[in-house]
Amino acid sequence: MITTFSPVQHALPADPVFDLWPLQVAQLIRGWAVDVTAADLAPLASSVDAPRRLRARRGYLGGTGANVELARMLEERPEDFGAVGQIVLGAEAVEIQPGPRPFADTLFVVGPECIDGLQRLRVIADMRDRLSQEHLQRAVIRLEIRCGDERDRARGAYDVAHRCLNVSTAQDRLIRCANIIRLMDGDWEKGDFDPRRGVTAGPHGQRFSMADVTSALACLSDFPQPVAAHLAATPEGREALWSDRASAVYRRLFHGRMSPVGVMRAVEAWRTARAALAAMPRKSRQGHGHLIEYAPELICWKACRWLPLLSLHDPKSPFRWDRAIERDLPARTVRAAESLVTHYNRLHPEHGRSGRSYKSEAPKLDLWRELAECAG
């Protein structure tokens, strides 16, 4: 039941009531949509028993990564705090009391229940002693309130909402990078590029994933150490690399000079080097030769150091890239592998003994740096 009333004409029900001073109120088919500030919402979940009192489906999760980020956003960018996401409440009733001025109504939520958004509510409550009232008023949040049958429907829908979510990843957000956008708009002749789908190129429509592109650019970057190659070697590392677009490593890989021809050169070189490693005999992978198995990106990075990396993306480069990659790079990759394995054996003869496995030791960045320095 939704009622508009004045304090003289109507008395509030005995149920617990939470009152708000919304910036805007709209009655929807499925309930109410209300714009309120974080300052108004701060008392709603401030008590320790708030999850039980609001009948939330789970309690406050504390300092999770998401909650830490929400708190940081509320403190540093309050306008962004309410720009994405909303809070959904259930209620026995919603009642409005007109105020003395236009758009100054008071909203009474009778029997409030938190259907979705308890984490945001608790972050606001926890931050209200650290942030001023004026600061909290800068965070405007969309609040939906459902009553009656729609409240029951919302409960059921939000209980299984996680099944319908496609979680965003750092790779998805590459589309916001201006240098990636320029690369997408570049001339790929008979192909194209998209950070989700990767590269389609050539008359036969060869496809290279974004992981391939990243590993290739990392191996042929002019970064003086194999840091980028190490990050690009694992799914977790690539996510970390893609997520920090301000980092020096990211800016050395995805810069404003990127060109389709440079990307294709890098991919061809990386694939050629990987193929040369795969063709090495099994006996070469024994002992410290496990480096070939567990640190191939280090070897590819080292094998590509002789190429004119600063002209990688120059379409007019006089260097015979195709010929060098096809004729010279396979043998140079094998020599790089043999050299790095020799240095590995000399520097760390203990690896592989006393319970230390090559599989755990060979992928470590400190080892890559040490071997890269020793190999010159």
pLDDT tens series, the chain, 376 aa: 334 333 333 333 335 889 898 999 988 888 999 999 999 999 999 998 999 999 998 899 999 999 999 999 999 999 999 888 889 999 999 998 876 655 568 899 999 999 999 999 999 999 999 999 999 999 999 999 999 999 999 999 999 988 888 888 999 999 999 999 999 999 998 889 999 999 987 767 789 999 999 999 999 998 889 999 999 999 999 999 999 999 999 999 999 999 999 999 999 999 999 999 999 999 999 999 999 999 999 999 999 999 999 999 999 999 999 999 999 999 999 999 999 999 999 999 988 775 578 999 999 999 999 999 987 7
Q: What are the Cα distances from residue 22, in Å, to 41, 86, 195, 251, 357?
A: 10, 15, 41, 44, 62
Q: How far apart are the first and last CA of the chain?
A: 78
DSSP 229-249: HHHHTSHHHHHHHHH-TTSHH
| Model pLDDT, residue 290 | 95
Nearest to 299 by CA among 348, 257, 253, 332: 332
3-state DSSP call for residue 35?
strand
pTM of the model: 0.79
Return the pLDDT at 83.
86
- The whole-number pLDDT of residue 101 equals 55
Chain-centroid distance of CA 234 in Å reads: 15
- H-only helix segments in 199-328: 210-219, 227-232, 235-243, 248-253, 260-278, 290-294, 296-303, 321-323
The domain ranges of the chain are 2-164, 172-375
Whose tokens are 């979510």? That residue is 165
Average pLDDT over all residues of the chain: 90
358-365's contacts with Cβ under 8 Å and 24+ in sequence apart are: 358/288, 358/290, 358/291, 358/293, 358/294, 359/290, 359/294, 362/290, 362/291, 362/293, 362/294, 362/295, 363/233, 363/234, 363/294, 363/295, 365/226, 365/227, 365/230
CB-based burial of residue 309 (10 Å sphere; 0-12 exposed, 13-18 middle, 19+ buried)? middle
E strands of the chain, at which residues?
2-4, 17-20, 24-28, 31-37, 87-91, 93-97, 106-110, 113-116, 140-147, 192-194, 198-201, 206-208
pLDDT at residue 104, as a whole number: 62
Largest CA distance in the chain: 92
* Per-residue tokens: 264: 């294709």
pLDDT score at 175: 95
* Integer CA distances (angstroms), 172 to 62, 194, 196, 350, in order: 27, 10, 6, 42
Res 8: pLDDT = 30
